[in-house]
Amino acid sequence: MNAPFGLLKVGRMSRSLMIVSAFAVLFVLIGMRSVSVALGAGGAIDVVDTREREAHIRADIHDRNGELLATSVSVYSLFADPRAIWDAGEVAAALGSVFPDLDTHEVTARLENRARAFVWIKRGLTPRQRQAVFDLGVEGLGFRVEHQRAYPRGSQAGHVLGHTDVDGKGQMGVELALDKVLGMAEEPVRLTLDSGVQYIVENELEAAAANYDVLGAVGIVLDVHNGEIRALASWPAFDPNRPALASDAARLNRAVGGVYELGSVFKPLTIAAALGSGGISSHERFDVRSKLVINGFEITDTHEGASRMTAALVLAESSNIGTVRIAERLGPDGLADAFGRLGLLDKAQIEMSGSAAPILPSKWSALSNATASYGHGIAVSPLAFARAFAALGNEGRVPGLTLVSRERDGERPEHERFVSPEIATELVAMLRLAVTDGTGRRADVPGYRVAGKTGTAEKPIAGGYAEDHNVNSFAALFPSDRPEYVVLVVLDDPRRGGEPGGTAALNAAPVAGRIIERIAPLLEVAPVFDPAARSKRASRERSAP
């Protein structure tokens, strides 16, 4: 009896050990599975997926002086493995306590999909948000290191830079145009912009917007010799750090994506083309006493001047009639060819997205030839016009545009011949006269010899033009004796207290003058003071009403 009893006791103990061992193996397997989920799928809250660390970081963007304009910063993005989450609604509610803007119903639906091993919850977390998620102690969540674009100067040059999406892909501006380059470059991409000049232009546009209640504004500073853009600004401002908050008006880069009938700033180009073709001479006088009627369309001057004008006086007095008389010598084909050589019949070629094509006459008739000669019936982007205007300061050659520094490879955009150096020099002298004695007086800056032209263009509406809504502009070259830069200011519908804001002579010209006065020292343009000119200016100011 003892033996069987002993065997029975041993057998029971063996079975107990077997059961205990089985449970132990089961717990080990469960533990191993938990570790596998945590390590492979990001199950535990303290697991960080570092695969994004191996991805190439998007290159920084600098200005011409090495100032940082755009960079990439490391951020944590929160994801989940729905397979490791027991109660999707509870987890979504907990996350909603950290992120009030989170759609918990949508998150719950995603977390309930057990067929998926990875879903994004929220990207670009701040360190405080990341810690708050850690403090929840929820299983099945993890973080992935990503690189988010940051623009340390806020809205400065925002339209030029553009922005990226949450995946780091360029969406507008340079970020879009150079998307592949920025994604592969080992060194920063350097732009031709000068941050100091850019700041001044943006600052003056903002002041103009407040002073004249404009719908929009543009400011451009361009090197006439190499086509490098030193400043390119559009108002309203755009902050690339917060693209989702920008209005449609703020998202539009008016300098390259807007097209405008710019008015009388076209007149110097028409006169230069006529002189270059030999159709007129600089000493010839044109009869401007009577209004012109072309195909039933009346062309008049806004104010009376001399009855017969030279080309220089036509420019200084901004005579529409005189300009049309000059354009008649060119004819429609001649003017269209001239504008084509200036690049005005195509969109501006530049290393950024959104460059707009011009709106051109359906055919170059006698009427379109007349109106286009003084900047109506043809709408171009401000950047395209600034490039064309630069030819007058670049000895008659149209520079290629560039926004990216070419210092390392020596590559330069090609130049197109428009007129001879002699004619270009003659036109700059006429433009200087238009500032000292003509409609551009308020743009003059002591010491910097500004040459330029005003443009006041009525805005087109259905069936004609609005008499009380204008696009006002001022195009300048300085210094006039050896032009180095173009400054273009465009104000869309300037007004005062709800009333029309007057001509470009009253608003666009003084804005351009203030810009030149402030940027000239940064551009190392030395002032030259002429005592005689200073005395003449003082006398003129004393006699002004």
Peptide bond before residue 236 is cis, with ω within 30 degrees of 0: yes
Distance between CA 162 and CA 140 in Å, rounded? 36
Please give the structure tokens belonging to residue 315. 């420019």
DSSP 91-152: HHHHHHHH-TT--HHHHHHHHT-TT-S-EEEEEEE-HHHHHHHHHHT-TTEEEEEEEEEE-T
DSSP reduced 3-state for 323: helix
Task: State residue 10's pLDDT score.
Answer: 33
- The set of residues, in sequence order, having a beta carbon less than 8 Å from that of 222 and lying 6+ positions away, is 228, 229, 230, 386, 387, 390, 399, 401, 485, 486, 488
What tens digit of pLDDT does each residue of 260-286 get?
999 999 999 999 999 999 999 999 999
Q: Chain-wide mean pLDDT for the chain?
A: 86
pLDDT band at residue 412 under the 50/70/90 scheme: low
* Mean pLDDT (whole number) for 293-321: 89
pLDDT band at residue 43 under the 50/70/90 scheme: very low
Q: From residue 189, how far is each of 71, 181, 185, 487, 494 by CA, in Å? A: 11, 8, 8, 25, 37
Which CATH class for the 52-190 domain? alpha beta
Mutual angle of helices 104-111 and 88-98, in 10-degree steps: 140
Q: From residue 200, how far is each of 119, 215, 405, 462, 518 by CA, in Å? A: 46, 20, 21, 37, 7
The catalytic site residues sit at 264
Query: Would you call 519 exposed, middle or buried from its count of C-beta atoms within 10 A (0-12, 13-18, 19+)?
Result: buried
What is the chain's length?
545
- Furthest CA-CA distance within the chain: 145
Residue 55, pLDDT above cutoff 80: no
What tens digit of pLDDT does each residue of 134-158 get?
888 888 898 888 788 999 999 999 9
Residue 447, pLDDT above cutoff 80: yes
Distance between CA 158 and CA 151 in Å, rounded? 8
Cα angle value 329/333/337 (rounded, 5°) = 105
Contact 442, 452 (CB under 8 A): no
Residue 347, pLDDT above cutoff 90: yes
Task: State residue 414's pLDDT score.
Answer: 64
Phi, psi of 504 (to 5 degrees): -60, -30
Task: State residue 31's pLDDT score.
Answer: 45
Contact 213, 399 (CB under 8 A): no
Please give the structure tokens belonging to residue 252. 């539009």
Peptide bond before residue 127 is cis, with ω within 30 degrees of 0: no
Cα angle value 308/310/313 (rounded, 5°) = 95
Provide the residue ranges of all domains of the chain, joining segments of one domain with +: 52-190, 196-543
Residue 80, pLDDT above cutoff 80: yes
Distance between CA 318 and CA 423 in Å, rounded? 19
Contact 76, 176 (CB under 8 A): no
Task: State residue 129's pLDDT score.
Answer: 87
- The set of residues, in sequence order, having a beta carbon less than 8 Å from that of 476 and lying 6+ positions away, is 435, 440, 443, 450, 451, 452, 486, 487, 488, 512, 516
DSSP reduced 3-state for 249: helix
- The set of residues, in sequence order, having a beta carbon less than 8 Å from that of 434 and lying 6+ positions away, is 315, 316, 318, 440, 451, 452, 453, 454
- The set of residues, in sequence order, having a beta carbon less than 8 Å from that of 349 and lying 6+ positions away, is 355, 400, 401
Task: State residue 459's pLDDT score.
Answer: 93
Distance between CA 459 and CA 492 in Å, rounded? 9
Determine what percent of the chain is predicted with pLDDT higher than 70: 85
Residue 241, pLDDT above cutoff 50: yes
- The DSSP bridge pattern shows strands 141-150 and 48-49 to be parallel
Phi, psi of 9 (to 5 degrees): -65, -45
Task: State residue 533's pLDDT score.
Answer: 55
Instruction: Give which of 78, 37, 74 is closest to 55, Cα–Cα.
Output: 74
User: What would the CATH number be for the domain defined by 196-543?
Assistant: 3.40.710.10
* Mean pLDDT (whole number) for 340-348: 96
Distance between CA 255 and CA 190 in Å, rounded? 20
pLDDT band at residue 42 under the 50/70/90 scheme: very low
Instruction: For tokens 């908050």, name the residue.
Output: 245
* Mean pLDDT (whole number) for 487-508: 89
Instruction: For tokens 């300009």, name the residue.
Output: 323
